[in-house]
Amino acid sequence: MSRTDYQRQLEQLRENVLEMSDAVCRRLRQALDAYERKDDALAETVITADHEINRLYLELERDCIDLLALQQPVAGDLRFVAASFKIITDLERIGDLAVNIGEYTQRAKRDRYSDIDIAYIGEETIGMIEDAMGAYASDDAAATREIASADDEIDALCERASEVVIQDLIEAELGDEPLFEDVSRMLLTIRDLERVGDHAVNIAARTLYMVENDDELIY
């Protein structure tokens, strides 16, 4: 294979990873929209469409393995392929978290926690993913560190939201089964959004390593 063809393969891999991230963010937005509007049909769309994300993941995994096995990249190219492989794993897991939110929507029977702005937290985490993928697209090392800092804000939002729910649980009467179900669903939703933020940080960390051979953010 010529050097030109090899570089084209690397460029195509980057483009395909970015396309996967677009699909994942779209699914997560749909899941949050379904959650906000209690739209069971839209939630079902998110759940059943998970196979698309899984298909993209498997195709890109195969592409990464082929590049590693057949082209034996070194130095920066090796870091790029390895980082891309790790990033698609994080994207696939974000897709799974979108499915979780869709399932929580279908189990919801009431809006007990209207004062917790799940839509806002969700949009902030999506912003983190998009920023992390933007850094990956443009080899922007500085942006990766900003994303890691933004995760502290997401953690704080999730912590405050969890405190509201737990306080409700503390004050609940024994046997209030509907409340316990609502508490469980809300805590799981908050936890999953926090995990989305963590995956965005993972993407930023792998991008920083890819660009500068710096493992500062990997943990």
Tell me if 196 sits within 8 A of 91, measured CB to CB: no
Asked if residue 217 is part of any domain, the answer here is: no
Give the separation between CA 132 and CA 92, rounded to whole angstroms.
15
CATH number at residue 61: 1.20.58.220
User: What is 171-214 written as a DSSP string?
Assistant: TPPTT-HHHHHHHHHHHHHHHHHHHHHHHHHHHHHHHHHHHH--
pLDDT in 10s for each residue of the chain, 219 residues: 566 788 899 999 999 999 999 999 999 999 999 999 999 999 999 999 999 999 999 999 999 999 998 888 888 899 999 999 999 999 999 999 999 999 999 887 656 777 889 999 999 999 999 999 999 999 999 999 899 888 999 999 999 999 988 887 787 665 566 677 888 889 999 999 999 999 999 999 999 999 998 887 776
The predicted pLDDT at position 1 comes to 58
Tell me if 52 sits within 8 A of 23, measured CB to CB: yes
CA angle at residue 116 from 90 to 178, to 5 degrees? 95
Asked if residue 133 is part of any domain, the answer here is: yes
User: What is 22-50 written as a DSSP string?
Assistant: HHHHHHHHHHHHHHHHT-HHHHHHHHHTH
Asked if residue 154 is part of any domain, the answer here is: yes
Asked if residue 218 is part of any domain, the answer here is: no
Q: Name the residue range of residue 119's domain.
A: 3-212
The predicted pLDDT at position 40 comes to 93
| Reported pTM | 0.92
32-36: list long-range contacts, CB under 8 Å, 24+ apart. 32/101, 32/118, 32/119, 32/122, 32/123, 32/126, 34/101, 34/102, 34/105, 35/101, 35/102, 35/104, 35/105, 35/108, 35/118, 35/119, 35/122, 35/189, 36/118, 36/119
Neighbouring residues of 54: CB distance < 8 A, sequence distance ≥ 6: 92, 95
Asked if residue 219 is part of any domain, the answer here is: no
Chain center to CA of 94: 3
Asked if residue 163 is part of any domain, the answer here is: yes
Asked if residue 28 is part of any domain, the answer here is: yes
Domain total of the chain: 1
Which strand (E) or helix (H) includes residue 57?
A: helix 50-66
